[in-house]
Amino acid sequence: MRLLVVEDNAALAAQVRAALEAAAFAVDAAADGEEAHFLGSTETYDAVVLDLGLPVQDGLTVLRRWRAEGKTMPVLILTARGTWSDKVEGLNAGADDYLAKPFAMAELVARLQALIRRSHGHAQPVIRCGTLAIDTTRQAVTLAEAPVRLTAMEYRVLECLALHLGEPVSKTRLTEHLYSQDFDRDSNTLEVMVARLRRKLGEQMIETVRGAGYRLAAPP
């Protein structure tokens, strides 16, 4: 899954990015409100971590602009403001959740995982497809109750397909959701990852839908 982290404190932004990448997210970063607005308006993100106290343009203004433009990605706001009215203002502007600074990285990761699951209609952390189970909290996969060892990139591909369970996901959409800006999107990495997953899970588990992409579906 691909995230945008908007934070002007360079040290905190680096810590957040490291924690999210360790949890199998692809991460882009912005340090001011104008850059954040541009990226959120032109790129595809599964969720955004948005600081409110930003230079150039504050976080609430950025959030309101995204929502006015019809951008629906989940947004978790970070705030050093402690009053309930500030939190309510953020939620009313279109935020889906918030964390007050300082916060634990593990809580940030857990909240983002939950936001992304719910945005795709999954209330439970474990997504099942036949005998395949994907635990989105632990990034753990089992097949017929036996653990399946995946690389971080293989897991990203599988999780994206699982969140769209039963629906075809185009190669373009998969690429947009899997890789950060600085990744070479012209490579054949996606095809390689799908081939590896088929070897580990079975050829029938990931279908190629002609003209539509790939679909995760339990074999008959």
The pLDDT assigned to 177 comes to 80
The residue whose two tokens read 């230079």 is: 55
> Residue 49: beta bridge partners?
5, 76
Level-2 CATH architecture, domain 126-216: Orthogonal Bundle (1.10)
Contacts of 183 (CB under 8 A, 6+ apart): 26
Answer yes or no: CATH 3.40.50.2300 is held by domain 2-119. Answer: yes
pTM of the predicted model as reported, rounded to 2 decimal places: 0.85
Alpha carbon distances (Å) from 119 to 45, 47, 73, 115: 12, 9, 8, 6
pLDDT tens for residues 87-115?
888 889 999 999 988 899 999 999 999 99
Alpha helices in 81-216 (DSSP H): 84-92, 105-119, 152-163, 171-178, 189-201
Domain boundaries, the chain: 2-119, 126-216
> Residue 5: beta bridge partners?
29, 49
* Mean pLDDT of the 29-54 span: 95
Higher pLDDT, 68 or 176: 68
